[in-house]
Amino acid sequence: MTDLSVQRTDMRMGSLLALGLLYIAFRLGSAAARLATNPYWAGCLAAPNNPAWRLPQMISDDMASRINAQINRELFSAYFYLGLSAQAESSNLKGTAAWFMAKHGEEMTHALKMYRYLLDQDAIVALDPVEAPPAKTAGITDMFERTLSHERAVTQAINDLVDHAAQEKDHATHIFLQWFVTEQIEEEATVNDILGRLRLFGDQGQGLLMIDNELAGAAKRVAAAAPATEV
């Protein structure tokens, strides 16, 4: 190859390289222009810490606020059972106290399941004050009657949440809530059964002793079955 043809080849290579670089610069420039004119990314770049630029969460604000309200109800349930456990223990009903304490633990796991769900959906967890539970009850039958009406109210609240998730076509929340629907069926049935036994055997003397013993055994089963919620 002559010196001249080597020179021509070098010039062609140089021009190709320059064209390539020009093309890359052009693509980068138009990408930057698109970024700067996109309101979302422009906002992120201008004020990266502004919460308005958070990526949209996966569930609606309304759904998140309803789940937050349910977290509060679950925490109240835990508080409610803790109060009943203390009252039962003060009345020397150790088995009943253990049962309510196990329910307290269960309700905490329910609240934490919802807490975890909101965080996994990139939604805000907003914790509100928890109402105080009843300070005084009129004995074991009253405790379980209050428990049944409390659980019925919780079932209604869960059903409302399910209806709302269906209305919003929020399939993820709808599926998530199915566990709670099943749980409420089981809880109401258990309390109904305890109340039935209290009515059958009485809530005094031997009958009371027998039920208190049964509840001690049931408390161990509830505690053993309680799923550990990873937070």
Least Å from the CB of residue 207 to ligand OFO: 26
Question: Judged by CB under 6 A, which of 68, 74, 85, 101 binds ligand OFO?
Answer: 74
Answer for the pair 95, 214: CB distance below 8 angstroms, yes or no: yes
Instruction: Rule CB under 6 A: say whether 154 interacts with ligand OFO.
Output: yes
Answer for the pair 120, 91: CB distance below 8 angstroms, yes or no: no
| Planar angle of CA 75, 189, 173, nearest 5 degrees | 50
Least Å from the CB of residue 77 to ligand OFO: 4
Long-range contact pairs involving 169-174 (C-beta distance under 8 Å, separation at least 24): 170/59, 170/60, 170/63, 172/58, 172/59, 172/121, 173/59, 173/63, 173/67, 173/117
Instruction: Rule CB under 6 A: say whether 113 interacts with ligand OFO.
Output: no
Instruction: Rule CB under 6 A: say whether 107 interacts with ligand OFO.
Output: yes
Q: Which amino acid is at 208?
A: L
Least Å from the CB of residue 103 to ligand OFO: 8
- State how far the Cα of 4 lies from the Cα of 2, in Å rounded to an integer: 5
Instruction: Rule CB under 6 A: say whether 71 interacts with ligand OFO.
Output: no
Determine the distance from the C-alpha atom of residue 24 to the mean position of all C-alpha atoms in its chain, rounded to a whole number: 48
Instruction: Rule CB under 6 A: say whether 187 interacts with ligand OFO.
Output: yes
Instruction: Rule CB under 6 A: say whether 77 interacts with ligand OFO.
Output: yes
Stretch in the footprint of ligand OFO (CB under 6 A) among 35-43, 122-130, 137-145, 180-188: 180-188
Lay out the site mask for ligand OFO across 28-67 (x = CB under 6 A, - = otherwise).
Answer: ----------------------------------------
- State how far the Cα of 173 lies from the Cα of 62, in Å rounded to an integer: 12
- 218: burial class by Cβ within 10 Å (0-12, 13-18, 19+)? buried
Q: Between 88 and 108, whose beta carbon lies closer to ligand OFO?
A: 108
Instruction: Rule CB under 6 A: say whether 110 interacts with ligand OFO.
Output: yes
Residue 109 tokens, joined = 């796991």
Q: Between 74 and 203, whose beta carbon lies closer to ligand OFO?
A: 74
Question: Judged by CB under 6 A, which of 87, 117, 151, 211 binds ligand OFO?
Answer: 151
Chain residues that interact with ligand OFO, rule: CB under 6 A: 74, 77, 107, 110, 151, 154, 183-184, 187
